[in-house]
Amino acid sequence: MTKTKLVLVSLMVAATMLVSATVSVAAPIVIKFSHVVAENTPKGQMANKFRDLIAERLDGKVVVEVFPNSQLFGDNKVLEAMLLGDVQLAAPSVSKFEKYTDSLQIFDLPFLFKDMAAVEKFQQGPVGQKMLMSMKKKGLIGLGYLHNGMKQLSASDPLRVPADAAGKKFRIMTSDVLAAQFEAVDALPLKKPFSEVFTLLQTRAIDGQENTWSNIYSKKFFEVQPYITESNHGVLDYLVITSTEFWMDLPDDIRTEVKKALDEAIAFGNQISEKKAIEDRQKIIDSGRSEIIELADAQRQQWVDAMKPVWKKFEDKIGKEYIDAAVASN
Ligand code: SIN
């Protein structure tokens, strides 16, 4: 090879290396968003909205891939996967963070919040905002709260007063507060992943569960639970979460845009959550598969009296000043 040819070949090799380096630098940042519910729920809609906003605004720079229905990870695994970098975004129920922080357990205290407006007020206040960062040292950052709604009790037999729940098995999320809530009415709580609830109910391995209208409808629990007591005894809310490492590694301008899109998607999800609760409740009534039991004031008071002592049990763990702030938001 002549000297000129050698120089030319070397230049071509260098150019090829430069092009491939440029291509790999320009590869989009992938955000995998894993969740456990159906797409026609507040969380499912929020996740899809976020994906669409990012596609519109950060096309080619960031790609969001949404995995609904526990396709990628169940809630019991997703936080570990996030810390390993296998998933970047999730929105587990606030009841599923007990391994990482005590403070979020406040949301599981029965009959604490009067309605979703009170939940929103508390979350946007100083205590709620502080709680977003309560797991930062453990590698997780809360980016916002997303609502689903108030929980109802479904069962294979009618539940009108606490004594009706005694001796019955209820599936719960992984929360000691929820376990204590069912123990307070002499029921047997079982911590099980969301993806198993339908089969557990269908096979009568359990007698009942607690959930929102949206989850009871979209996961067809109402088809295998002849009674739903409209108890509104607790709240099912989500924490949109990411890993501290992933979040801090994002370039500043991208992080700002991603957060903006996320805030808009959360606002959208929160806006539809109330509407979905009303619509899905009505669809369950229309199906004729499940009877909805409305509690008389005296009956509801019996549930309050039986379950409220759970507050005291967890007061030291959660913090009395946090509980007081929640009560003040009612
Ligand atoms: C969810 O809404 O994300 C699941 C709630 C549950 O586990 O019951």
Query: Which DSSP string do the residues of 52-98 spell out, in sequence order?
Result: HHHHHHSTTTEEEEEE-TTSS--HHHHHHHHHTTS-SEE--BGGG-T
Measured distance between the N- and C-terminal CA atoms of the chain, rounded to whole angstroms: 84
**326 C-alpha to center of ligand 1: Å?**
22
The finding on whether 215 has its CB within 6 A of some atom of ligand 1 is yes
Q: Tell me, what's the pLDDT at 175?
A: 97
Local structure of 140: helix, strand or coil: strand
**13 C-alpha to center of ligand 1: Å?**
54
Q: Looking at this protein, which amino acid is placed at residue 103? A: S
Q: Structure tokens of 96? A: 């599923």
Mutate to test the pocket of ligand 1, among 97, 108, 153, 173 (most ligand atoms within 8 A of CB): 173
Q: How many secondary structure helices (H) and strands (E) does the chain include?
A: 13, 9
Q: Tell me, what's the pLDDT at 76?
A: 80
Cβ partners under 8 Å of residue 15, min gap 6: none
Q: Whose CA is nearest to atom 4 of ligand 1?
A: 194
Mutate to test the pocket of ligand 1, among 175, 215, 280 (most ligand atoms within 8 A of CB): 215
Question: How far is Cα 127 from Cα 120, in angstroms, rounded to an integer?
Answer: 12
**69 C-alpha to center of ligand 1: Å?**
10
What residues form DSSP beta bridges with 68?
Answer: none
Local structure of 228: helix, strand or coil: strand
Neighbours of 54 (CB within 10 A): 23
Q: Tell me, what's the pLDDT at 2?
A: 54
| Residue burial 113-130, b: 16+ Cβ < 10 Å; e: rest | beebebbbbbbeeebbee
Residue 124: phi and psi, rounded to 5, are: -80, -10
Q: Tell me, what's the pLDDT at 75?
A: 83
The finding on whether 178 has its CB within 6 A of some atom of ligand 1 is no
Q: Whose CA is nearest to atom 8 of ligand 1?
A: 194
The finding on whether 211 has its CB within 6 A of some atom of ligand 1 is yes
**61 C-alpha to center of ligand 1: Å?**
31
Kindly compute the dihedral angle of the four CA atoms of residues 259, 263, 265, 271, in this order, to the nearest 10 degrees: 170
Fold designation for 23-328: D-Maltodextrin-Binding Protein; domain 2 (3.40.190)
The finding on whether 311 has its CB within 6 A of some atom of ligand 1 is no
- What's the Cα-to-Cα distance from 128 to each of 13, 103, 106, 233, 262, rounded to whole Å? 56, 10, 10, 20, 18
Cβ partners under 8 Å of residue 67, min gap 6: 32, 33, 34, 35, 73
Q: Is 231 left (phi over 0), alpha (psi -120 to 50) or beta?
A: alpha
The finding on whether 239 has its CB within 6 A of some atom of ligand 1 is no
Q: Is 111 left (phi over 0), alpha (psi -120 to 50) or beta?
A: left
What's the pTM value of the predicted model, to 2 decimals? 0.91
Number of alpha carbons in the 13 Å side-chain half-sphere of residue 73: 20
Neighbours of 104 (CB within 10 A): 25
- What's the Cα-to-Cα distance from 29 to each of 139, 180, 264, 291, rounded to whole Å? 20, 43, 20, 48
Instruction: Say if residues 140 and 82 touch (Cβ distance below 8 Å).
Output: yes
Mean pLDDT for back-to-back runs of 10 residues, the chain (330 residues): 53 52 72 97 98 96 98 93 98 96 97 97 97 96 98 98 98 98 98 97 98 98 98 98 98 98 98 96 98 98 98 97 98
The finding on whether 173 has its CB within 6 A of some atom of ligand 1 is yes
**36 C-alpha to center of ligand 1: Å?**
7
